[in-house]
Amino acid sequence: MAEYIEQIEKLSDCFRRIDGVGRKSALRMAFSVLDMSEEDVREFADALISVKTDIGYCPVCRNISGEGLCSVCRDPERDHSQICVVEDFRAVAAVERAKGYRGLYHVLHGAISPMKGVGPDDLTIKDLLTRLGDGKVEEVILATNPTVEGETTAMYLSRLISPLGIKTSRIANGVPVGGDLEYTDELTMRRALEGRYDL
Amino acid sequence: MAEYIEQIEKLSDCFRRIDGVGRKSALRMAFSVLDMSEEDVREFADALISVKTDIGYCPVCRNISGEGLCSVCRDPERDHSQICVVEDFRAVAAVERAKGYRGLYHVLHGAISPMKGVGPDDLTIKDLLTRLGDGKVEEVILATNPTVEGETTAMYLSRLISPLGIKTSRIANGVPVGGDLEYTDELTMRRALEGRYDL
């Protein structure tokens, strides 16, 4: 056994394609699959295929969706006057996890990045403007990432949307709850001070 | 979207069945699969099934094997007079990784554990004794884990094998290379001192 047996190597290579999984973890995971029941492994394989083939995009907000309209857009109890604009479905999940937000979403599928050759036309901005055309939306919350690309995209959208008479807002920067001031970078600290509120 | 969409939840549950993968990592992994190409995902699913269905056990050493005899047992360049006895295929991989060992293996598929109801008959001890019957083996290296169960199993095997006129040895305990004495537990420290060697 100069190397591991072929099937293990192969599966281990597949696990490595997952973000953040290194060589050792991938091998450990492949070994772990050997310990599973055949039924569990078949279910696992089916679940993999299903994620890739059964998931599409909501025709309205462009978030991932099992079938047609996503569950947020379909929900009559959500506030249709607010749209939270995010870069990807991971951000939708993050906002939903935080609970509290009851409006709709719009997923851009990226952010404007001249470095990566991503321009406004590569994002779902046209779909967003179409949605804003019905006059029901009162506020667009720009929740792109606090990165150069995210900020640029937020600025760009704000300039596009404000003239339509719709309020635009940006999520706050500041010290993360539970974080330690000692480890807060300068820019975050400055933003946290600027964003201070009265007690 | 009160929860994540069904297909993501399902795949995430599958990832969680892997040893050491928690809820958050599993979800991150499921998201990561969404970003893969459909071809890669199908390959991944096939690799999963293949590990479970195409891998069997070597009829001689009981290690996992793609087909028939494992590559170690098949290799004429390996030293057939030494057998390294380990608990599972993970340990074979660990010894092989260390390079240097050129003998054969025997995989017990566990260790004697009255607590878990595992007795000598639940392990591949009979197969081992059959292998020792041909008179070619000169040394059996007992490389079971340095746990209560592993030590018990090593002692048990030593008492079975020594009367056959075959030398038995046990892998050394000691301070791990690159480790820090400050964080070495008392028992390991004592074993490291007992096992000291002359310079």
Say which DSSP state A3 is in: S
Find the CB nearest A48 among B11, B18, B63: B11
Q: Are B139 and B81 in contact (CB under 8 A)?
A: yes
Restricting to B residues 142-181, those with a Cβ less than 8 Å away from any Cβ of A are none
If DSSP codes are grouped into helix, strand and coil, which group holds residue B41?
helix
- Exposure of A97 in the CB half-sphere (CA atoms within 13 A): 9
A137 CB within 8 Å of a chain B CB: no
> Is A14's CB within 8 Å of B38's CB?
no
Q: What is the pLDDT of residue B154?
A: 94
CB contact under 8 A, A19 and B42: no
Rounded to a whole number of angstroms, the distance from the CA of A14 to the nearest CA of chain B is: 5
What ipTM did this prediction achieve? 0.75
Decide if B47 touches A, using CB distance below 8 A. yes
Task: Say yes or no to pLDDT of A61 above 90.
Answer: yes
pLDDT, tens only, B184-195: 888 888 888 888
Q: Shortest Cα distance from B5 to chain A (angstroms)?
A: 6
Q: Which residues touch B184 (CB under 8 Å, ≥6 apart)? A: B175, B192
Q: Residue A169 phi/psi, 5° resolution?
A: -135, 160
Contacts of A21 in chain B (CB under 8 A): 29
Nearest to B51 among A11, A46, A72 (CB): A11
Q: What tens digit of pLDDT does each residue of A98-157 get? A: 888 999 999 999 999 999 999 999 999 999 999 999 889 999 999 999 899 999 999 999
Determine the Cα angle at A109 with ends A107 and A110, to 5°.
Answer: 120
Q: Are B113 and B154 in contact (CB under 8 A)?
A: no
| Chain B residue whose CA is closest to A91 | B31
For chains A and B, count residue pairs whose Cβ atoms are closer than 8 Å. 162
The pLDDT assigned to A3 comes to 64
Q: Which of residues 65-94 of B touch A (CB under 8 A)?
A: 65-66, 70-72, 89-90, 92-93
Is the pLDDT higher at A192 or at A150? A150
- In B, minimum Cα distance to A99 occurs at B2
User: What is the C-alpha separation between A54 and A51, in angstroms, rounded?
Assistant: 6
- Closest chain B C-alpha to A152 CA, distance in angstroms: 24
Average pLDDT for consecutive 10-residue bins of chain B (199 residues)?
76 93 92 93 95 93 91 94 94 87 95 94 96 93 92 94 93 83 81 78
What residues of chain A lie within 8 A of the CB of B46, using their CB? 45
- Residues in B closer than 8 angstroms to A31, CB to CB, are 89-90, 93
pLDDT for B46? 95
Which residue in B27, B28, B52 is closest to A41 by CB distance?
B52
**What is the sign of the dihedral through the CA atoms of B130, B134, B135 and B139?**
negative
Q: Flag if B51 and A6 touch (Cβ within 8 Å).
A: no
- pLDDT per residue over A32-53, tens digit each? 999 899 999 999 999 999 999 9
pTM of the predicted structure, to 2 decimals: 0.75
Distance CA(A15)–CA(A23), nearest Å, equals 9
- pLDDT for B3 equals 64
**Residue A155 in 3-state DSSP?**
helix
- State pLDDT tens for residues A163-189: 999 999 998 888 888 877 778 888 888
